[in-house]
Amino acid sequence: MKKLLALTVAVITAFSLVACGGNNAGNSAAGGSNGKVSLKILDTEYAVEDYAVCVAKENTALLESINKALEELTADGTAQAIVDKYISDKQHDLVFQADAEGKEEIHMATNAQFPPYEFYDGEKIVGIDAEMASAIADKLDKKLVIDDMEFDAIITSVQTGKSDFGMAGMTVTEERLANISFSSSYATGIQSVIVPENSEITSVDDLYAEGKNYLVGTQKGTTGDIYAEDDFGADRVMKYASGNEAVQALITGKVDCVIIDNEPAKAYVAANNK
């Protein structure tokens, strides 16, 4: 467990995780009798974090209006309804961005490979962040435009003003705060570890075992990636463009575990094991 940062009030509690896979990429993962690799999430946590919206440092007016919007959306239950729709499958009948056409645009930078926060449903980017951003844009009387990019491009896009804000299940860290501002937190994230069902890794502590040198798969530039590199060294961390690619590497035995936020971990494991 490391680098836990609780800067702001967590107004909503959702979860995320970090996962790890592989037996020195040796391939303990190579399937059961039907050749399919079943995955599971370790029940010990690797890190607990806060998610927030990021905004360019000089853009204090926008930061204030986002904080105000988040506060209102939390107070009137909208934020919880959005989380419940994606995490507990409880539909709501709220409508966002109904008459946004023609309004001034507000651009959100994200990496839409992170269910249930942001992912594609057909051509459309949906998820907790996408919907929360729509609700925020309504309050700001703007038309939301989502700019999809690599996760590690988001901060630069916001810093340089190409995007107005970033929302991507993004964890508040001190290092990031040196470059951008964060809103109040709207969710809690947990970094979790995914392993094959039959893995000899049974707890986060096992990852530190002397002489084992387990290989960890991560999504490049994420906190799971950064912490894993700090803890295990660059040689043991395999970085992928998306969490899904890291999970594919776990299934094919290239890594021994994947460290990723808890809710995406649940989504990936469920999709794999079904």
**232 near ligand ARG, rule: CB under 6 A:** no
Residues in the chain: 274
**181 near ligand ARG, rule: CB under 6 A:** no
**21 near ligand ARG, rule: CB under 6 A:** no
**118 near ligand ARG, rule: CB under 6 A:** yes
Closest distance of CB 167 from ligand ARG, Å: 9
Size of the site for ligand ARG (CB under 6 A): 16
Backbone angles phi, psi at 51, to 5 degrees: -95, 140
Instruction: Spell out where the chain has E strands.
Output: 21-22, 39-41, 47-51, 54-56, 105-110, 119-121, 124-126, 143-148, 165-166, 180-182, 187-196, 216-219, 237-240, 256-261
Binding characters for ligand ARG, 119-158, by CB under 6 A (x = yes): --------------------------------x-------
User: Which span (86-94, 100-108, 165-173, 230-238) binds ligand ARG, by CB under 6 A?
Assistant: 165-173
Q: Calculate ∠ Cα 196-198-204, nearest 5°.
A: 65
Closest distance of CB 60 from ligand ARG, Å: 22
User: Which span (64-72, 82-90, 194-202, 215-223) binds ligand ARG, by CB under 6 A?
Assistant: 215-223
Cα–Cα distance between 196 and 22 in angstroms, integer? 8
Check whether the bond before 116 is cis (ω within 30° of 0): yes
113, 181, 183, 185: which one binds ligand ARG (CB under 6 A) = 113
- The closest alpha carbon to 194, from 211, 222, 210, 217, belongs to 217
Q: Which is nearer to ligand ARG, 171 or 183 (CB)?
A: 171
**185 near ligand ARG, rule: CB under 6 A:** no
Backbone angles phi, psi at 140, to 5 degrees: -90, 0
Which 8-state DSSP code applies to residue 153?
G
**114 near ligand ARG, rule: CB under 6 A:** yes
**45 near ligand ARG, rule: CB under 6 A:** no
Q: Calculate ∠ Cα 2-18-207, nearest 5°.
A: 70
Task: Calculate the CA 83 to chain-centre distance.
Answer: 14
**115 near ligand ARG, rule: CB under 6 A:** no
**116 near ligand ARG, rule: CB under 6 A:** no
- Would you tell me which residues interact with ligand ARG (CB under 6 A)? 16, 110-111, 113-114, 118, 151, 168-171, 189, 219, 222-223, 261
